[in-house]
Amino acid sequence: MAKLAFLGLGVMGGPMAGHLQKAGHDVTVYNRTAAKAQAWVAKYGGNEAATPREAAQGAEFVMACVGNDDDLRSVCQGQDGAFAGMTAGSVFVDHTTVSAAVTSELYAAANDAQISFVDAPVSGGQAGAENGQLSIMCGGDEGAFVRALPVMEVYSKICRRIGDSGAGQMTKMCNQIAIAGLVQGLSEALHFAQKAGLDGKAVVEVISQGAAGSWQMANRYETMLEDHFDHGFAVDWMRKDLGICLDTGDAIGASLPVTALVDQFYKDVQKMGGGRWDTSSLIQRLRKMG
């Protein structure tokens, strides 16, 4: 068992860190809102720290799951950042979905500090984190990945190194691009079924067994039909991710017309007051349009 630090205890990070503590690792947690760290320790045990640096001291692995590029920089760098507390040879594993640019920046900074940096964004949502069934896509040096793999396997159903530093974030962009189109297609299908006077559940029961079937259909169709959107991955975060996808697509010359369109649809949902709704709320936009 290893001495670990986990930075960020949101709907994803909290359960992930919990799995590590339950597996017998010695986990110290940090969260910007200290009350969350205190609640986590009360629930799982382990220890809390006042700063990322303090949490990282003596840790073989430091895991992070925070909000965005700036949040990640703030927990990694500076006098109170994790890098300042990590010892040579330790490994920083970033589970945040961020830009490839900040990944490159922090990978270089970690190398300068003689520590390893693995970009390891996750997919599977809150349910995947709570059930320990996340898909983890990784980039970074192979040796660092191999060392960190047994730790990440505690809360994953698949964890794979795709390539060098940044490959994990690029793969997460592929994931979000695919999801955007799937959710819009599912929304239109369910909206069409309702307008046609069909039993939406019966329709899905049939079409989900054929080529139309998907994780989104299996896990979200009922709540979409019932107008229930207070679970899963929020629209605000999806727009952040799609912005990264679109910016990167421009940089590498990849055409993403459907992604750009769906991003604007999510903007409409935000205007409806649905920024914290689950991403499956795209169907509400169609209902509003009639």
Of 114, 134, 165, the position where a domain reaches its end is 165
Burial class (CB in 10 A: 0-12, 13-18, 19+), 244: buried
- Pair 160, 179 in one domain: no
Check residue 102 and give its pLDDT: 97
- Pair 26, 158 in one domain: yes
Burial class (CB in 10 A: 0-12, 13-18, 19+), 289: exposed
Q: How far is CA 161 from CA 5, 22, 104, 211, 243, in A?
A: 22, 25, 16, 29, 24
- Pair 140, 26 in one domain: yes
**Residue 121 belongs to what domain range?**
3-165
Return the DSSP state at 98.
-
Which of the residues 172, 240, 267, 288 is marked catalytic?
A: 172
Of 135, 165, 195, the position where a domain reaches its end is 165
Q: What's the number of domains the chain is made of? A: 2
Check residue 290 and give its pLDDT: 72
- Pair 121, 9 in one domain: yes
- Tens-place pLDDT, residues 62-101: 999 999 999 999 999 999 999 999 999 999 999 999 999 9
- Pair 82, 198 in one domain: no
Check residue 232 and give its pLDDT: 73
- Pair 47, 84 in one domain: yes
Of 104, 135, 165, the position where a domain reaches its end is 165
- Pair 142, 248 in one domain: no
Tokens of 249: 């697509």
Read off the CATH number of the domain in which 203 is found: 1.10.1040.10
Residue 165 CA to residue 249 CA, distance in Å, equals 18
Check residue 1 and give its pLDDT: 85
Check residue 184 and give its pLDDT: 98
Read off the CATH number of the domain in which 17 is found: 3.40.50.720
- Pair 189, 251 in one domain: yes
- Pair 31, 157 in one domain: yes
Return the DSSP state at 29.
E
Based on the residue annotation, tell me whether 271 is a catalytic residue of this protein: no
- Pair 56, 95 in one domain: yes
Average confidence (pLDDT) per 10 residues, the chain, 290 residues: 96 97 98 97 98 98 97 98 98 97 97 98 94 98 98 98 98 97 98 98 98 95 95 91 97 98 98 97 93
- Pair 119, 185 in one domain: no
- Pair 238, 182 in one domain: yes
